[in-house]
Amino acid sequence: MLIRRADSIIPSEITPRALFERRRDFLRLSAGIALAGVLPSAHAKLGPGKSSPYSISETPTPLKHVTSYNNYYEFGTDKEEPARTAHRLRVRPWTLQIDGLVKQAKTLGIEDILKLAPLEERIYRMRCVEGWSMVIPWLGFPVASLLKQVQPLGNAKYVEFITANQPENMPGVGSRVLDWPYVEGLRLDEAMHPLAIIAVGLYGEALPNQNGAPLRLVVPWKYGFKSGKSIVRIRFTDREPRTSWMKAGPSEYGFYSNVNPEVDHPRWSQARERRIGEFSKRKTLMFNGYGEQVSQLYTGMDLRKNF
């Protein structure tokens, strides 16, 4: 059981669950919401977005766990620290720079980004390399909708995601646990896959700071650290990006980092996982259960070598 100070509880956790569900049902029946005008305010109620065929039918992890048990090293290495300290993250104004090997580099604000594609609610399994997992109802849109805006050049093979670096607001940036800012990367075809999304919310509300506000990458078939938080720049390149965890531990964290129960972390097994809120462990699924959708991306690859 997690016990937190009262001043660390976010308003969305105070809402009775029954009332929260009724609000979501009401919003589903509404003709529409002007989302671009809603998101900029803190703790905005976004609604569930349109339903998505990519959602799974599993029961979501309770909101209180999703927002209080987080890896966000810029705000501390303990799982409970981000919920206590991430309120310091400056999320407005926020711009996203997209450049590199593209025909037309762009800098977009939140309002511009939300006009690119309708928000969808996607309930995804998320698996952490440390052995725990959650099921989260994200609000977002396909990464491809964003990347197509700049028209990648023919020699662009990879996409690098660079996250916020605010030393004055992020106490963890003063540590040497990682090389800041946090950097992640995908192959271009991975980034363009319809399962990969940019999340702007969860459980019908704008992303809490500790979950990666205001823009977070979500790649559900990969370990959670691949889903970079608080993204400020996306860069197209012809070379595999050198990501933060690859720099910190190249023998432990490979570029692909696909969920694979057959490839153990050097210090622990990946064969089983513990769903947050459950006592017993369950079998880890290949590609986190998304093999039918993504396995063709890795045809002919040695997934032990390309871990």
Residue 1 lies in a domain: no
Longest dimension (CA), the chain: 53
Residue 199 lies in a domain: yes
Q: Is residue 263 part of a domain?
A: yes
Q: What is the pLDDT of residues 30-53, one digit of tens each?
A: 323 334 344 444 456 776 677 789
* Residues 231-288 pLDDT 10s: 999 999 999 999 999 999 999 999 999 999 999 999 999 999 999 999 999 999 999 9
The count of other CB atoms within 10 Å of the CB of residue 229 is 30
Q: How many CB atoms lie within 10 A of CB 180?
A: 20
Asked whether residue 64 is assigned to any structural domain, the reply reads yes
Q: Quick check: is 249 in a domain?
A: yes
Asked if pLDDT for residue 149 goes beyond 90, the answer is yes
The pTM is what? 0.86
Backbone dihedral region of 66: left (phi > 0), alpha (psi from -120 to 50 degrees) or beta?
alpha
In a domain, 303, yes or no: no
Asked if residue 106 is part of any domain, the answer here is yes
Domain containing residue 141: CATH number: 3.90.420.10
Q: Which domain holds residue 229?
A: 6-298
Q: Is residue 306 part of a domain?
A: no
Number of folded domains that form the chain:
1
